[in-house]
Every structure is written in structure tokens, then in C-alpha cells.
Amino acid sequence: MSQNEVLRARRHTTVCQKEPSCYEDVLVKFVLYIRRMRKEKNYNYIYGSDETSVWLDSSNTKCIDKCGAKEVAVLSTGHDKQRITVMLTARGDLLQDEENGFLSDNSIEF
């Protein structure tokens, strides 16, 4: 490598999400739908939940490449597909449940 080639620390490119203004109509319709469902049915509890992936690969997402490179290859440790899915749940009245459940081998265990 010659001295003229400058190296840069870069991140791999990700797909951009939509602007928040694109979601306004969808959010309003969803809130109205939930209000209608709460009036029609008598729900005892309302839960909010979200699930996210936790990747077990601790490699850094940065790599070193020549300045101006069109493509950047991300090196891996070989553990790319080792991950777990975590589901976070909260009840509407903020009461905490004593039992914690997790998903293992497509079956629920408590």
C-alpha cells in the first residue's frame, strides 16, 4: 500500500426508515381502532409489548478501508446467526407479574 492511500474507519450502510410524517395517518387510525375495541369489549388488562433481537456476536461494526472505496466489506467472527429474541412487556396498570416466561425451541417455558 502506498503512502498516498488514506485509510478511514467506516460503518456498513443500513436501509433508511421512513420519515415520521409518513406514519401520521396510520397512527391516528390505530388509536381510533384501539378506542373502538375498548368500547366494544370489556378488557380486564391491556398489555404493551415489543420484541427485539440480541445478537451474540460482539464484533465491532466498523472496518478500516481506503478513502473513497465504493464497497465496504464487514468482517465477522462467524457467529452472525447466533442471537436470541427478547420480548419486553408492560401491563397498563403498571402491576408487575411474578412469572417470567421465555421462548425456547418453539415452546413457552415458565
Q: Is 13 helix (H, G, I), strand (E, B) or coil?
A: coil
Report, as an integer, the average pLDDT of 85-90.
82
pLDDT for 77 beyond 50:
yes
Q: Is 85 left (phi over 0), alpha (psi -120 to 50) or beta?
A: beta
d(CA 29, CA 31): 6
C-alpha atoms less than 13 angstroms from C-alpha of 101 in its C-beta half-sphere: 8
Across 8-12, 31-35, 39-43, 76-80, least confident range: 76-80
pLDDT for 96 beyond 80:
no
Q: What is the pLDDT of residues 42-73, one digit of tens each?
A: 888 888 888 887 776 655 666 667 777 777 66
Q: What is the pLDDT of residues 14-35, one digit of tens each?
A: 656 677 788 889 889 999 998 9
Structurally, the chain folds into a number of domains equal to 1
Asked whether residue 28 is assigned to any structural domain, the reply reads yes
Do residues 74 and 61 lie in contact, with contact meaning Cβ atoms separated by under 8 Å? yes
Asked whether residue 93 is assigned to any structural domain, the reply reads yes
Asked whether residue 1 is assigned to any structural domain, the reply reads no
Which has more pLDDT, 93 or 16?
93
Asked whether residue 92 is assigned to any structural domain, the reply reads yes
Do residues 93 and 63 lie in contact, with contact meaning Cβ atoms separated by under 8 Å? no
- Residues of the domain holding 93: 7-109
Asked whether residue 2 is assigned to any structural domain, the reply reads no
pLDDT recorded at residue 105: 47
pLDDT recorded at residue 28: 92
pLDDT recorded at residue 40: 93
pLDDT recorded at residue 36: 92
